[in-house]
Amino acid sequence: MIRPVIRGTGHYLPTRVVPNTEFSKTLDTSHDWIVSRSGIERRHFAAEDEFTSDLAIHAARAALENAGIDATELDAIIVATSTPDFTFPAVATQVQAALGMTKGFAFDIQAVCAGFVFALANASGLIAAGQAQRVLVIGAETFSRIMDWTDRGTCVLFGDGAGAVVLEGQPGTGANTDRGVLACDLNSDGRYRDLLYVDGGVSRTGSAGVLRMQGREVFRHAVEKLAETATSALDKAGLSSADVDWVVPHQANLRIIKGTAQKLGVPMERVIVTVQDHGNTSAASIPLALSVANADGRFKPGDLILTEAIGGGLSWGAVTLRW
């Protein structure tokens, strides 16, 4: 059988670094307050003339260089984002044009913070079905454009950034010892829309709107649902949490990351954590963390990696893969 294998990773962060102390100038908050509730110490914000597509293009080029392939060798590009440059066309087509890729296809996926997991699952399905051989999967966000800067409960949590992986179909035996994506688990439940949403949109208000969140309720759902979907993705591959070498979670909140790891029985020494430096970059957070950890040399061939994420919708999911 054909397994979708990660051949390369890349990421990009805007140059502007925003420490927690910057928020204390205008809000009733402090560095210690933010860290105690989220683990976040700093984040990056895009420049005024820097857009989601720009971040995605930088991350894409880094991933292609890491993979050692040219954009002309790609069959498809999938971008996971909730903050596109335009209502349409898709950010993915802008990346396609910038990379000089004139064949194949490109499209966006919108599942908020779970977007990269959904995009990775879709890319894996395309490769397994023979629709594509090499797929560039990107998570890219500029959440700084949809913040309510008077709401200390949300505006301190998010940052901008992009991460990308190059997936390539390679022969496998069908056993869970294969390299590549082994199993995916995707879920959503629209009854919880009001827990995390943006109060604008083309059809409803004609404006972008700003992010609204019921933090306590999101936290309550997050730990439970993330542990369940992670366990399901492992079960589908015939594996357990004891087999996991690395968990690469959505970087939303350090307390959620720790709570989920505890439920899974995975020690924090085996969890990749970047939230302190990047904040919550939504769909970009998992590929960003994958790229940072890969650049640091933490992943070894054959390592079992578990990714999981939850976002607005509510939408959540997990992917089990072998490096």
Q: Is 280 a catalytic residue?
A: yes
Q: Please, are residues 82 and 282 in contact by the beta-carbon 8 Å criterion?
A: yes
Q: What are phi and psi of 14, to 5 degrees?
A: -55, 155
Options 20, 66, 122, 280, the catalytic residue: 280
HEC sequence for the chain: CEEEEEEEEEEECCCEEEEHHHHHHCCCCCHHHHHHHHCCCEEEECCCCCCHHHHHHHHHHHHHHHHCCCHHHCCEEEEECCCCCCCCCCHHHHHHHHHCCCCCEEEEECCHHHHHHHHHHHHHHHHHCCCCCEEEEEEEEEHHHHCCCCCCCCCCCECEEEEEEEEEEEECCCCCCCCEEEEEEEEECHHHHHHEEECCECCCCCECCCEEECHHHHHHHHHHHHHHHHHHHHHHCCCCHHHCCEEEECCCCHHHHHHHHHHHCCCHHHECCCHHHHCECHHHHHHHHHHHHHHCCCCCCCCEEEEEEEECCCEEEEEEEEC
Options 20, 58, 113, 278, the catalytic residue: 113
Q: Is 58 a catalytic residue?
A: no
| Half-sphere exposure of residue 275: CA atoms within 13 angstroms, side-chain side | 26
Options 250, 253, 278, 294, the catalytic residue: 250
Q: Is 113 a catalytic residue?
A: yes
Which residues are catalytic, by number? 113, 250, 280
